Amino acid sequence: MGAVVTERWDGLVLGASLATLEGEAGYGAIGDGALAWRDGRIAWVGARADLPDDARQRAVEVVDAGGGWITPGLVDCHTHVVFAGDRAGEFEQRLQGASYEEIARHGGGIVSTVRATREASEDALLAQSLPRARALLADGAATLEIKSGYGLDYENERKMLRVARRIGDTLGIGVRTTFLGAHALPPEYAGRPDQYIDAVVEWLPRLHAEGLVDAVDAFCERIGFSHAQSRRVFEAAKALDLPVKLHADQLSDGGGAALVAEFGGLSADHVEYTSAEGVRAMAAAGTVAVLLPGAFHVLRETTLPPLDEFRAQGVPMAVATDCNPGTSPLLSLRQAMQLACTHFRLTPEEALRGTTVHAARALALADRGTLRVGQRADFVHWNIGQPAELCYWLGGPLARAVYAGGRKVS
């Protein structure tokens, strides 16, 4: 009789180096590694030499990776991939000297995307948004956060959140939805921002009751909403026990980072102008700093986030695409990593942790971001000789395969 197989595995991959990202520093590298999964969770990870003798018999499928590296599936923790139309014309205007604020104040910016998004049916909006999500997936993103914020009325915000859920179902990846009703002031509320916030606060429990909201966000800025108005949105979220995050201190220091930290927020995003006080508040609250180098690059910003203070205070730094039609038309999280290294001087290790460990934390997803037994079996097999190559190459296909929950999805 043959040996008794004590545990069945759905899959086993052999023959690649592993960047587990276990521990506080380093890649957690394992040369010539092996990774097994069962029921969508990692069941074994380590050096191939340490595998049980019956490892091949245990696995329903055995994959010979043939070299390269395996990392955790990337997590894009700040995107706006659901929208209709584009804003290529505004890109040209900025090249001719117009500022982001000037364009917004003359009817462009977010409000122009609102018009196109409102006009699109749910199916049309899904059809336009899926290719963007597929592009992010093809370059390693196994989890996406997707915000609303281009509907700015109840039915169209609901439509956006429904499309976000459908993207996850269609692609077989993790999607976290964020209600961003307080993104911009719609034309019908011109001059009445407080009344619009009244409406946003009224919509939130209805959308949450449908299971469409995982977190709540706001745009706290001169061209967005005030500190007091953002606070009202957060109070409404707190009443529903929903976590919050914030577009904070992108164009000026409006105290946004400190505000979201006061509410124990998951993340403060952009944070170019965040003060030392704001950094200390984030550190005390455990709030993640989400760096968005795509918008920094496209807007040709020059004020860097307080990176040294984040490091000194132990604030985790995530990296995301901010994929959106106006200020960051970026369809690769790996390219965002490269920009973070180039513009912000992150190390390749910091950038990879920023798109795995820390990005997962920014979404309150404790079950992904590392290669560890019990974690969700999200991983990427890369055609690289060392992890730093993920930030070295400018474009080009590096992902051989992307797995989400133990299923090959790209």
Per-residue pLDDT at 329: 96
Structure tokens at 103: 């364009």
Per-residue pLDDT at 1: 29
**Binding site: residue ranges?**
78, 80, 87, 150, 183, 247, 250, 322, 324, 326-327
DSSP code of residue 224: S
Q: Is 201 exposed, middle or buried (0-12, 13-18, 19+ CB in 10 A)?
A: middle
Task: Determine which helix (DSSP H) or strand (DSSP E) holds 102, and give its type and residue range.
Answer: helix 100-105
**Binding site for Fe(3+): residue ranges?**
78, 80, 247, 322
Angle 154-171/122-138 helices, nearest 10 degrees? 40
Contact 303, 61 (CB under 8 A): no
pLDDT in tens, 229-245: 999 999 999 999 999 99
> How far does Cα 89 stand from its chain's mean position?
26
- The residue-averaged pLDDT of 332-338 equals 98
CA distance 30 to 16: 9
Question: What residue has token string 């209805």?
Answer: 206
pLDDT in tens, 82-115: 999 988 888 888 788 888 777 777 777 778 899 9
Q: Where are the alpha helices (DSSP H) in 152-269?
A: 154-171, 193-209, 227-239, 256-262
For residue 192, pLDDT over 60 is answered with: yes
**Binding site for Zn(2+): residue ranges?**
78, 80, 247, 322
Per-residue pLDDT at 254: 92
pLDDT-above-90 percentage for the chain: 90
DSSP string, 137-156: HHTTEEEEEEE--S--SHHH
DSSP code of residue 369: S
Contact 60, 340 (CB under 8 A): no
pLDDT in tens, 108-160: 777 889 999 999 999 999 999 999 999 999 999 999 999 999 999 999 999 99
For residue 3, pLDDT over 60 is answered with: no
Lowest-confidence pick of 2-6, 12-16, 295-299, 364-368: 2-6
CA distance 393 to 410: 20
- Which CATH superfamily is 74-362 part of? Metal-dependent hydrolases (3.20.20.140)
**Binding site for N-formimidoyl-L-glutamate: residue ranges?**
150, 324, 326
Contact 172, 405 (CB under 8 A): yes
Q: Where are the domains of the chain?
A: 9-72+370-408, 74-362
Identify the CATH class of 9-72+370-408. Answer: mainly beta
**Binding site for 4-imidazolone-5-propanoate: residue ranges?**
87, 150, 183, 250, 327
pLDDT in tens, 259-276: 999 999 999 999 999 999
**Backbone angles phi and psi of 340, in degrees to 5:** -65, -40
Tell me the pTM.
Answer: 0.95
For residue 4, pLDDT over 60 is answered with: no
DSSP string, 56-84: HHHEEEEEE--SSEEEEPEEE-S-----S
